[in-house]
Structure 1
Amino acid sequence: MTGPENGPLLVLGPSLGTTTHMLEAQAADLSRSWRVLRYDHPGHGSSPAAKSPFTVEDLARAVLALADEDRFAVGGVSLGGAVALAVAALAPERVTDLVLCCTAARFGEPGPWRERAARVRAEGMGWLAGMVTARWFTLGVDPEVAEPVQSTLLGTDPESYALACEAIAGFDLRDALRDVRARTLVIAGDQDPATPVEYAEVIADGIPGARLAVVPGAAHLANVEQAPVVGGLMTRFLGNGVGLKTRREVLGDAHVDRARAAVTDFTADFQEFITRYAWGEIWTRPGLDRRTRSCITLAALVARGHLEELAMHVRAALRNGVTPDEIKEVLLHSAIYCGLPAANAAFAVAQTVLNEDI
């Protein structure tokens, strides 16, 4: 686990035949404001070898058990992306954001996957190195980029790898895509022969509101070959984690989910600006507690006549522990310094909200 203690949780899973190290660049970027938890698949890296068959859904249930927050973001590459997709389908009420990189809702016909599993059991992992890494990277990739993940592949437990291939063979979530409610970013490599752009398009078309980004000059491990590009896409989509968590705590999940669902390419930078600076920098400063900040915000909104936001911040004030009597005192004080008409309109808005909460 990396990242600030007060950041929201983001769970990331790697591709088949790799480990958490292949997500190093993205984790470094995102850990500035997210608590990033990476995991290894069975028999990969530090994870114990599998002793019996499992499904992608089994791996997703393990992620749900691993997550220490009721609501969290999840993502991954290839098999890790399939696990993330299964998490979002199994527990849509728990997943806020979903980032899927070079993955699929179905990885083609099951036959070749079962044949690969059988050959690994018979011959071990050595024969895979050339075939798989040729699909992972574009022609002419820097050997320093490819070699570490190739070495990791060769160190994977063969039986666990074979069982994972069989899990992939049986994986098909195409009919469940419409049930995913999380904000979703789908990333594809433009030269990916393993999960081509068409696979990403199936996911993006199936999940309501999903966005698709195609990375040029990238094959299957786009996050390794084009790490800065993929990292930038993920960071911009997920936003400032600390600010987002504070915004949720103050304004509530329902409001924030609606606001984020309405973000467009035109408004995205402004929303990121608000989340980063208002919620991630100002509302988190230790000099004033949230009750005090809510009172100041109410007075400022009355002064400027921003009644369209006053109702939202009356609810936020109640959530922050400000009592109805204290809200009344703030509005009375505002009547003297901001004007009676402004306070009169503010009392009407506040009374409507207080009636909702009674």
Structure 2
Amino acid sequence: MRNDLELDAIIEDYLLGKLNPQETEAFEQLRRNDATVDHKVVSHKFFLESMEAFAEQLRLREQLNHIHGEIDVESLADTLRPHPSKVVQLWRKHKSALAVAASFLVLSLVSVYSIQHNNKQEAIYEKMSREISRVKQSQNNLVLDVRANSMHNSPKKPNPGNFGGTGFAVSTNGYILTNLHVVNGADSLFVQNSKGESFKVKSVYTDPQNDIAILKISDKHFNGLSTIPYTIKKSLSSIGENVYTLGYPKDDIVLGEGSVSSRSGFVGDTTQYQVSILVNPGNSGGPLLDNNGNLVGIISGKQDQTEGAAFAIKSKYILEAMRAIPQDSLGVNRLSANKKSLLTGLKRTKQIEKLEDYVFMIKVY
């Protein structure tokens, strides 16, 4: 028991730094050689630190009690009560007059700003309108359910090309009009007529903004066409006007009938009509005609998820494309629309018989 008390006293003196250097070195040697002694040192150190922390808490509490006793609580509370500042007092006294003055100032600033920026805003609006029109046209090509390049085989004359869409003649010497999205990116192109005859063609003009492409038959076996039976309509078609189209959604030519349901296309695109004709992939690029055989547009696609809602590029843009072809692509010939339709007054079946030779299947390599 005595030895334990003596050891505890030595440990405490060691931890408090009361041993001389020789005693400290001897005690540390004892710790290294005796695990029990070392454990007692660690435990006693923890005990002393805990006691010191407790004593510090007691001292802090005493200091707080002393400070609290010296505070005049009632005087402090009165000091901390809110008192209106001079600014607040001024506002309460003159708030009506200040509000009127502030309103007048704001109104004046707005008026000056409006006058200075009026012309600039008009210019920006005009520019935005043009940009929106271009964006609408781009959206059409993205969201319309036109899936060209579906695989089909010709039953009459095998051709390694992929089925692309429809095109129609705009001249007797082999100029064919179709949609740009039908032929865009093709390495080579062929057209096939209703008899199953295929001819190589090349692209001579494209109008990306209006999705129009004009091709030229370059095949030496092509002997030309008879007089084009339809003319290109220069005026707008009316809502409710009966229209029809011929195209190649499959291997054989297919008739689609309906009417003009709107003078604007997808999301209000004024370059197109909306027509109530059931179309499918492959109809793209086909002619849209009225009852008199006037070409009123080009089928360009359909609205996704909506049956019987197709879109057609207006004939105005066909005429513009024909006039825009570079002269060196035309040679001595100029493209021009017929002045009179040969289909006027004919029954629909007779019109189709005359049209079939001028509507082509587009095949894309």
Say yes or no: TM over 0.5: no
| Structure ranking higher in strand proportion | 2
Rg larger for: 2
The TM-score with structure 1 as length reference comes to: 0.21
**TM-score, normalised on structure 2?**
0.21
